[in-house]
């Protein structure tokens, strides 16, 4: 058993986990996500006719308020965890949360105010004081949820699960972050399960099938999709196996994570998409491809740690190439035509999740390459 087999102490509530750069990088990554969601598509900059940043809107959409609060809550939690580790023993000194809440709220206010100001220079964007006030509340809420006794208990439980089921290797935290981003991308039901492109591209195949020109089992349609999905599922499963604790089997974790992503996609599809599109996630190519990918994982997961990383990287590359070749990228406005959502923020949500889905294989490939290179010497190689 190698270096990533270390077990966290049971008394996580009273021991401070060694702090690393991971939280700071997570903060930076989340800020980039907020910047993208606030300013995308970054084109059409122009001189504003007026600044509405301080003008109270005539109408307030409570859904938008809730979205703005929720968007900054994770940022507040991350900054609070950086300023005061939530697993550190509670003392009289760190019981004083008010200064930390003030710092985090001020940070959220400055970031949100700056982005709202820049939105005045973009067509189609409307700056509003309600937005940056809701963002500020969200940042403060994230701090409270992290540092209260209940929040500390939840954090301790999550960290216990992390060290019980995932390796303590240095790259594992980054891999877990990528798994979280993968689940976030699955919240967009217009993104096919383990394929590339957007769901609008499948409208052509659906039309052909409905007209009798093609069937879901037509080899020319089915085989390329099955190969792409199988390679991507195998890549994802092998990626999880690289992150799995040596004392745990990787297949149950793979199945659980896949189930979470699939349920998230179906749930969001039922909420956002028009009813005829709900069956697309259960197409024959998806079912056969996922099953084949899991069978490939059963074979290759028996390899040593370093070579699991190698084959995971190879599958990521091959799956990405095949998926790109067999997919047709629909324009964003075509994909949005599949949605029945009327509460706003749809274009930002669809664009952000699509980019996460497109960038994810590249980020996973880089991480797997780092794992493969860093375990090149016999002393650093895993035996399981």
Per-residue pLDDT of 3-30, as tens digits, reads 333 333 444 443 444 455 778 888 988 9
Q: Does residue 198 share a domain with residue 152?
A: no
Q: Does residue 107 share a domain with residue 10?
A: yes
Q: In which domain, by residue range, is 33 found? A: 3-163
Q: Does residue 208 share a domain with residue 97?
A: no
Report the alpha-carbon distance of residue 88 to residue 11 in Å, rounded: 11
Q: Does residue 359 share a domain with residue 241?
A: yes
Answer yes or no: is 380 within a domain.
Answer: no
Give the domain-ending residue among 163, 183, 218.
163
Q: Does residue 241 share a domain with residue 139?
A: no
Answer yes or no: is 253 within a domain.
Answer: yes
Of 76-80, 217-221, 240-244, the range with the highest mean pLDDT is 240-244
Say if residues 332 and 205 touch (Cβ distance below 8 Å).
no
* CA dist 194 → 41, 122, 144, 286 (Å): 25, 34, 37, 8
Answer yes or no: is 381 within a domain.
Answer: no
Question: In percent, how much of the chain has pLDDT > 90?
Answer: 31
Q: Per-residue confidence at 219, pLDDT binned at 50, 70, 90? A: low
Using one digit for the tens of pLDDT, what is the confidence trace for 223-262?
A: 888 888 899 999 999 999 999 998 889 999 999 999 999 8
Q: Does residue 133 share a domain with residue 278?
A: no
Q: Higher confidence at residue 65 or residue 190?
A: 65
Q: Higher confidence at residue 190 or residue 291?
A: 291
Residue 332 pLDDT more than 90? no
Using one digit for the tens of pLDDT, what is the confidence trace for 86-121?
A: 655 555 455 567 788 889 999 999 999 999 888 888
Q: Does residue 15 share a domain with residue 144?
A: yes
Answer yes or no: is 383 within a domain.
Answer: no
Answer yes or no: is 384 within a domain.
Answer: no
Least confident range of 91-105, 181-195, 196-210, 304-318: 196-210
Answer yes or no: is 352 within a domain.
Answer: yes
pLDDT at 357: 87
Q: Does residue 99 share a domain with residue 63?
A: yes
Least confident range of 29-43, 129-143, 186-200: 186-200
Answer yes or no: is 382 within a domain.
Answer: no
SS3 382: coil
What is the count of structural domains for the chain?
2
Q: Does residue 124 share a domain with residue 180?
A: no
pLDDT at 375: 82
Is the bond into 299 cis (omega within 30 degrees of 0)? no
Report the alpha-carbon distance of residue 82 to residue 103 in Å, rounded: 12
Give the domain-ending residue among 116, 139, 163.
163
Least confident range of 206-210, 235-239, 362-366: 206-210
Q: Does residue 7 share a domain with residue 134?
A: yes
Give the domain-ending residue among 163, 190, 222.
163
Q: Does residue 285 share a domain with residue 340?
A: yes
Report the alpha-carbon distance of residue 239 to residue 313 in Å, rounded: 8
- Segment 189-194 mean pLDDT: 78
Least confident range of 8-22, 27-41, 209-223, 344-358: 8-22
Q: Does residue 213 share a domain with residue 136?
A: no
pLDDT at 165: 92
- Segment 42-48 mean pLDDT: 77
Answer yes or no: is 74 within a domain.
Answer: yes
């Amino acid at each position: 058993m190698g270096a990533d087999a270390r077990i966290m102490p049971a008394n996580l509530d009273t021991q401070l986990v060694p702090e690393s750069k991971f939280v700071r990088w997570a903060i930076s990554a989340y800020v980039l996500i907020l910047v993208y969601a606030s300013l995308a598509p970054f084109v059409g900059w122009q001189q504003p006719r007026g600044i509405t940043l301080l003008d109270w809107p005539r109408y307030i959409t409570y859904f938008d308020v809730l979205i703005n609060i929720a968007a900054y809550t994770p940022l507040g939690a991350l900054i609070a965890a950086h300023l005061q580790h939530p697993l550190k023993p509670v003392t009289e000194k760190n019981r004083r949360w008010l200064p930390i809440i003030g710092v985090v709220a001020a940070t959220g206010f400055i970031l949100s105010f700056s982005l709202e100001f820049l939105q005045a220079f973009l067509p189609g964007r409307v700056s509003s004081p309600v937005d940056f006030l809701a963002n500020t509340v969200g940042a403060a809420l994230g701090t409270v949820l992290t540092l209260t006794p209940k929040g500390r208990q939840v954090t301790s439980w999550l960290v216990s699960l992390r060290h019980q089921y995932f390796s303590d290797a240095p790259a594992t935290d980054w891999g877990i972050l990528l798994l979280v981003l993968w689940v976030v991308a699955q919240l967009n039901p217009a993104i096919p399960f383990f394929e590339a492109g957007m769901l609008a591209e499948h409208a052509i195949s659906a039309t052909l099938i409905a007209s009798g020109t093609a069937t879901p089992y037509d080899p020319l349609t089915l085989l390329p999709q099955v190969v792409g999905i199988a390679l991507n599922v195998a890549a994802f499963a092998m990626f999880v196996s690289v992150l799995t604790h040596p004392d745990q089997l990787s297949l149950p974790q793979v199945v659980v994570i896949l189930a979470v992503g699939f349920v998230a996609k179906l749930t969001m599809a039922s909420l956002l998409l028009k009813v005829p599109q709900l069956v697309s996630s259960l197409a024959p190519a998806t079912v056969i491809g996922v099953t084949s990918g899991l069978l490939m994982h059963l074979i290759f997961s028996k390899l040593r740690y370093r070579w699991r990383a190698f084959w995971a990287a190879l599958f990521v590359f091959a799956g990405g190439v095949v998926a790109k070749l067999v997919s047709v990228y629909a324009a964003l406005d075509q994909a949005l035509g599949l949605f029945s959502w009327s509460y706003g923020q749809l274009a930002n949500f669809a664009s952000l999740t699509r980019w996460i889905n497109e960038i994810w294989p590249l980020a996973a490939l880089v991480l797997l390459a780092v794992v493969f290179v860093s375990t090149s010497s016999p002393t650093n190689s895993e035996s399981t």
